[in-house]
Structure 1
Amino acid sequence: MNTQEQIKEYIATQPEPKRSEMQQLHDTILAMMPACKLWFMDGKDEKGKIVSNPNIGYGSQNMKYANGKTREFYQIGISANTSGISVYIMGIDDKKYLARTYEKELGKASITGYCIKFKTLADIKIDVLKAAIQSGVKQTNIQH
């Protein structure tokens, strides 16, 4: 199964209304980043153990680790979780940037260093989420 098929199947397995909202987010991000690399991670490590929720990734950047090693990783990610949906904005150096910049305007969401978590799209302002995504992509500054 290719990446697009995995993404389609992952979204299809979500219960409503999460399924429709994941599809809407997927379509929104693809409209913002039409030629981006797509990723699908099933949440399992190399031994098959579940270590995270499955997630869909968009774009490409070189992540640098504290030990100096780098690896290619997505810029933006989305994932269904038990209480709603998470949007990951990867590669932002300032871990307080997202909360400081978007928390007041975004709506009912929790924001950590790179994750915006909300129960439903109705709880947030989608234009503010899009601005956060655009800002994150710009900060990682890799062609997509």
Structure 2
Amino acid sequence: MNTEERIEAYITGQAEPKCNDMQALHHLMLHIMPVGRLWFSDGKNSDGKTISNPSIGYGARTITYEDGKTKEFYQIGISANSTGISVYILGIDDKHYLPQTYGKTLGKASVSSYCIKFKRLNQIDINTLEEAIRYGIETTRDE
């Protein structure tokens, strides 16, 4: 299966209403980043051991490690988890920015330095989520 097929299988494999919410988020991301790179991670490491929930990634950025090595990775990720959905906004240097800027206006969500978790999409303000995602994309765009 190609990436798009793996993403579709992952989304449709979710129980309702999570399936509907994941599909809506996927469409939002494709609208925000119509030409961005798509990623899919099954959550397994090179040994086949599960180390995280599967996730869908959007966009691309370069991570530079302390030893100078680099790795390409996605900017925004979405993942279903046991209690709902997580949206990962990766690469923002200011670890307080997301919770301070969006935490009080997002609705029923938990906001950390890089992750926005919520149970249902209808419990959060989708416009505020989109604003946070757009901020993350712009902030982590490779020049």
**Identical positions, percent:** 57
Q: How does 1:88-103 map to 2 (within 5 A)?
A: 88-103=88-103
Name the residue aligned to 1:74: 74
Name the residue aligned to 1:21: 21
Return the offset for 1:68.
Answer: 3.2
Name the residue aligned to 2:51: 51
- 2: distance between equivalents of 1:93 and 1:101? 14
Which stretches in structure 2 are left out of the alignment for 5+ residues? none
Q: Which runs of 4+ in 1 moved over 3 A?
A: none
- 1: distance between equivalents of 2:96 and 2:70? 23
SS in 2 for 1:105: coil
- 1: distance between equivalents of 2:100 and 2:66? 24
**TM-score of the superposition, structure 1-length normalised?**
0.96
Name the residue aligned to 2:63: 63
Return the offset for 1:65.
Answer: 2.5
Return the offset for 1:56.
Answer: 0.1
- 1: distance between equivalents of 2:141 and 2:80? 26
**Aligned residue pairs: how many?**
143
- 2: distance between equivalents of 1:49 and 1:41? 13
- 1: distance between equivalents of 2:19 and 2:6? 14
Which stretches in structure 1 are left out of the alignment for 5+ residues? none
SS in 2 for 1:104: coil
SS in 2 for 1:48: coil
Name the residue aligned to 2:139: 139
Cα distance change on mapping 1:61 and 1:83 into 2, 3 Å:
same
